[in-house]
Amino acid sequence: MGYYVKSVFALPLPSYKNIKIFTMHRKVQELAASFFVETVAIRRHLHQHPELSFQEKETAAFISAKLKEYGISHQTGIAGHGIVALIEGKNPGKRCIALRADMDALPIREQSSQPYCSRNEGVMHACGHDAHSAILLSAGRILKELKNDFEGTIKLIFQPAEEKLPGGAKAMIDAGVLQNPEVNTIIGLHVLPSMESGSLGFRAGPFMASGDEVNITVKGKGGHAAMPDLITDTVLIASQIIVNLQQVVSRMAPPSTPTVLSFGRLIAEGSYNIIPAEVTIQGTFRTFDENWREKARNQIALIAQHTAIAAGATAEVFIEKGYPVLLNNDKITAQAQMAAIEFFGQEAVTDLPQRMTTEDFGWYSHEIPACFFRLGTANNAKGINNALHTSTFDIDENSLETGVASMAWIALKLLEKV
């Protein structure tokens, strides 16, 4: 087995019986390497200019300008600031593979001394969407260069508003991004700072949890804390509701179904000796079974309401339905994982456990066969391993080349599967 040296690291070249596939493999490697410097520059530009969900106007304009520079036809303004681009190969109607990247940032103040630190105060790409968009742009550029070497169509989806309900994926689906041409399969990736740079992770089946936002308002008669017999202790009742709701996980959930119910916010605007008339509770409910999810939502409401009534108060419950379970199609995920092994070698590809985090990519996975995989971005030797959604999150930028090559290669391999 020989080695072809990339700009960042060496990758094994498999022994191909088909010289065409061998040649394509080398072309993707060479193009990913040659575009690496610009991929980094794009990621840094996006990182410096983050925009919140549903506000990605300048981000979309920058991506559109790059697509125009690369000669890739596209439409803008889809479901807000979404962009859809098409790359047609030979026989474009044969099959269509979509590649998706999200574009929005988070309301976090970045704590970094890097020259590409966010210039928008209180807004930060702390979830790697800048990397996702940069990767998709360069992967699209590769596929444009190779359009005479494949049959079918590649659709690039740059999606707004992944981080905030109701999310951008459902809106883009409703706007028709999976049609004209009809998409057969959709692929997405996400950075993962717990995996070393240069590695990829896959899991077939239910991969990421559904996520619903739980809002409970306890109402009663407030008053002096020294006269509990004359008031309704809304704070105590709210506490009882939180404790009682743990039964949903410990006693009502199917033992084989991962389930999480967590509360992160309780607002009781009283004081040392004042019990407020109203207390609000906010939390998240997550699971991997859509049927159990619906039952659990009803149970949460009943327990909260009955607990409040038993103590002489009322509880208003509103559960905002969030993203569905992300389902990685078994066949497509196996094909994508084998393509990754073929390109990068077995040692670079790993099997992942399920994650209780959510992703609005899940909406696509309920419409068409999908594969959502992970890109390792850590460099422990350099101390680049801080978690997602933190003010110090960053990536080893060498991972961008892996991401670009993986997206392009997987798309090409899936176009072969009819």
Q: Which residues are catalytic?
A: 104, 162
Element (DSSP H or E) covering residue 3? strand 2-5
Pick the closest to residue 168 from 188, 148, 149, 150 (CA basis). 188
Cα(66)–Cα(109) distance, integer angstroms:
28
Residues 58 and 70: their CA atoms lie apart, in Å, by 19
121: number of Cβ within 10 Å: 8
Q: For Cα atoms 120, 126, 129, give the angle at the middle one, nearest 5 degrees.
A: 95
Other C-beta atoms closer than 10 Å to the C-beta of 8 total 18
Q: Nearest CA to 8 among 379, 341, 373, 342?
A: 379
Cβ-proximal residues to 23 (8 Å cutoff; 6+ apart), any chain = none
Q: 86 - beta bridge partners?
A: 155
Backbone angles phi, psi at 381, to 5 degrees: -65, -30
User: CA triplet 171, 211, 127: central angle to 5 degrees?
Assistant: 75
Residue the block writes with tokens 């559904």: 210
Structure tokens that stand for 256 in this block: 């084989």
Q: For residue 31, what is the enclosing H or E element? A: helix 19-34
- Taking the C-alpha atoms of residue 7 and residue 33, their distance in angstroms, rounded to an integer, is 6
Q: CA-to-CA distance for 315 and 306, rounded, in angstroms?
A: 8
Return the bridge partners of 219, or none.
278, 314
CB neighbour list of residue 139: distance below 8 Å, 6 or more residues apart: 99, 403, 404, 407, 408, 411
User: What is the CA angle 361-357-235, rounded to 5?
Assistant: 125
